[in-house]
Amino acid sequence: MSDADAPVLSVRDLTVDFPAADGGAALRAVEEISFDLAAGGALGIVGESGSGKSTTALALLGLHRRSGARVSGRIMLGDDDVNALDDESVRRLRGRRIAMIFQDPLSALDPYYRIGDQISEVYRTHTGAGRRAAWARAVEVLDRVGIPDAARRARARPHEFSGGMRQRALIAMALACEPEILVADEPTSALDVTVQAQILDLIDELRADTGMALLLVTHDLGVVSRSVERVLVMQNGRAVEEGPVSEVLRSPAEPYTRALLAAVPRIDAPRPARREPGEPLLTVAGLTREFRRPGGGLRHDVMRAVDDVSLDIRRGETLGVVGESGSGKTTLARMIVRLLEPTAGSIVFAGQDITRLPDRRLRPIRRDLQMVFQDPVSSLNPRRTVGDSIADPLRVQGTGDREALRTARELMERVGLDAARHDRYPHEFSGGQRQRMGIARALSLRPKLLVCDEPVSALDVSTQAQILELLSGLQEEYELTIMFVSHDLAVVRQVSDRVAVMHNGELVELAEAGELYDAPQHEYTRTLLAAVPVLA
């Protein structure tokens, strides 16, 4: 093989073991993974949560060092074996020859330092450049990744950037030293479809301009389809299939790959038949919510997050609510369950105006209005057992402790959890299991309306499919009406009878799901649909 044909990265028999917390047998997270990444090429690694794909990505940069993990096998960056290098040599490689962008830019960026300073520090560390030259480089790469007014925005801190801009800032940081390889670990999973499309287009442009290679780790097969040439499928730490992305996704050889593809919600898939909805259970009219920005009391210091929204939700139906981050959909959902007070407008539930009911009169109605939150880690108390967390709403409503815990265990079984683990804590469960806990807790009071806010956005496709199937079955069994808030238009098509589209706080379109997807009337709806990545 000539030097021109040699891979820029060659991994052979990579194995990663983590010590058990109780001193028992080590957990093997990755077992004998081998692959090559061509110079300028793009390889995707896909699989469910726990498949070992992120562990593999972190090992490439030596990021498991000092974690207690045992890493074996060869990771060849040119002539250098990352596993054989000392710590200082590995630190010199990071950012200069191989760089990484992470799933959560808020965790990866220091909240106390300006964006430009963080990029400058990376550049100075690897090049020895002075402060002025490093700052100029930071502004240059921020401009290159599409940050408007880069010289000014370089002085901002991470909380002053949107989610998409923070991800661009991480990409700028990774580009500062012009690495040969960019490792992207779920770089778009927390972004709405239009921002996701922008970030993927940006990475494509940067690859074309710089010649860098891309290793993309993701559970989104649509993203893989549009972004890489080859794909490696992982399951339980092992590679089960590898090949050209078009061949693997169109004609998968392995049952596991076929199962992953079957679980992917498709925007063009036929919708299942649904029962006819009844009369409106909930009606909102002119609903508005304003937030006052710090620093003044003038009108221009007020942000209108939801602006004069009117709609109804019919008994027995699922109403999907879609829109980008900042569109107002979560604010709308929180007002409907009375976690936020409306600035104006009305909420009528089951024939009763609940807009301004005091807590004392609202308490019995809350039984019928429950919410499943996007992040079960944040919504579950880490210091309380799972059984107690599910039983707490019953206790608040006056149910005795023994009866509340009995109901909690029954609900755990109903949502697919082992009731014998009711005395365990949330951190002992997977993300999909924690989401099932959130659903069980919301169902404990047998509500009439279940509001689900991004309930599957952080889950891999197979776990996502299980949660959606669970919600569908529970809807029939409990005669639920559901409001399903999501930025994932393919998921919303799969579950919804009607779909409401939010943009800049306004309701811009509301129609039957099939009608809206097949013939969208509003330009913004058409833009959202066009941005959805589709499997080849």
Domain borders along the chain are 9-97+181-189+215-261, 315-340+356-531
Return mean pLDDT, the chain.
87
Q: Which tens digit of pLDDT belongs to each residue from 369-399?
A: 998 887 767 778 888 898 999 998 888 888 8
Q: Which tens digit of pLDDT belongs to each residue from 460-471?
A: 888 888 888 888
Lowest mean pLDDT among 178-187, 190-199, 502-511: 190-199
Question: What is the CATH superfamily name and number for domain 315-340+356-531?
Answer: P-loop containing nucleotide triphosphate hydrolases (3.40.50.300)
CA distance 163 to 158: 9
Query: Which whole-number Å values give the CA distances from 83 to 59, 77, 80, 204, 216, in the listed order?
Result: 9, 10, 9, 30, 21
What's the distance, Cα to Cα, between the start and end of the chain in Å?
32
Evaluate whether 119 touches 172 at the Cβ level (below 8 Å). yes
Confidence of residue 136 (pLDDT cuts 50, 70, 90): very high
Domain 9-97+181-189+215-261 and domain 315-340+356-531, same fold? Reply is yes
Q: Which tens digit of pLDDT belongs to each residue from 303-317?
A: 889 999 999 999 999
In whole angstroms, what separates CA 260 from the centre of its chain? 18
Which of residues 461 and 14 earns the better pLDDT score? 14
Evaluate whether 360 touches 354 at the Cβ level (below 8 Å). no
pTM for this model (two decimals): 0.80
Confidence of residue 341 (pLDDT cuts 50, 70, 90): very high
φ/ψ (deg, to 5) at 177: -105, 15
CA distance 439 to 297: 40
* pLDDT for residue 2: 45
Confidence of residue 454 (pLDDT cuts 50, 70, 90): confident
pLDDT of residue 189 exceeding 80:
no
Neighbours of 406 (CB within 10 A): 16
Evaluate whether 228 touches 245 at the Cβ level (below 8 Å). yes
* pLDDT for residue 536: 61
CA distance 15 to 73: 6
CA distance 441 to 474: 13
CA distance 334 to 136: 44
* pLDDT for residue 1: 46
Q: What is the DSSP letter of 94?
A: B
With helix as H, strand as E and coil as C, how does 300-322 read? Answer: HHEEEEEEEEEEEEECCCEEEEE
Which of residues 317 and 127 earns the better pLDDT score? 317
φ/ψ (deg, to 5) at 230: -130, 155
Q: What is the DSSP letter of 228?
A: -
Question: What is the CATH superfamily name and number for domain 9-97+181-189+215-261?
Answer: P-loop containing nucleotide triphosphate hydrolases (3.40.50.300)
pLDDT of residue 288 exceeding 90:
yes
Evaluate whether 213 touches 38 at the Cβ level (below 8 Å). yes
Alpha helix positions (H), 264-358: 329-336
pLDDT of residue 268 exceeding 80:
no
CA-angle at 303, arms to 297 and 308, nearest 5°? 120
Which of residues 140 and 21 earns the better pLDDT score? 140
pLDDT of residue 534 exceeding 90:
no
In whole angstroms, what separates CA 29 from the centre of its chain? 22
Lowest mean pLDDT among 112-121, 341-350, 391-400: 391-400
Q: What is the DSSP letter of 195?
A: H
Q: Which tens digit of pLDDT belongs to each residue from 16-40?
A: 998 876 666 778 889 999 999 999 9
For the record, the structure tokens of 485 come out as 């808030």
The 3-state DSSP composition of the chain as helix, strand, coil percent (nearest 5) reads 40, 25, 35
**Residue 13: half-sphere exposure toward Cβ, Cα within 13 Å:** 4
For the record, the structure tokens of 46 come out as 């896909």
CA distance 492 to 481: 15
Q: Where are the beta strands (DSSP E) in 293-396?
A: 302-314, 318-322, 344-349, 352-353, 369-372
pLDDT of residue 123 exceeding 50:
yes
Strand partners, 319: 483, 498
Q: Which tens digit of pLDDT belongs to each residue from 147-164?
A: 888 899 899 888 888 777
Residue 451's nearest CA partner among 283, 278, 320 is 320
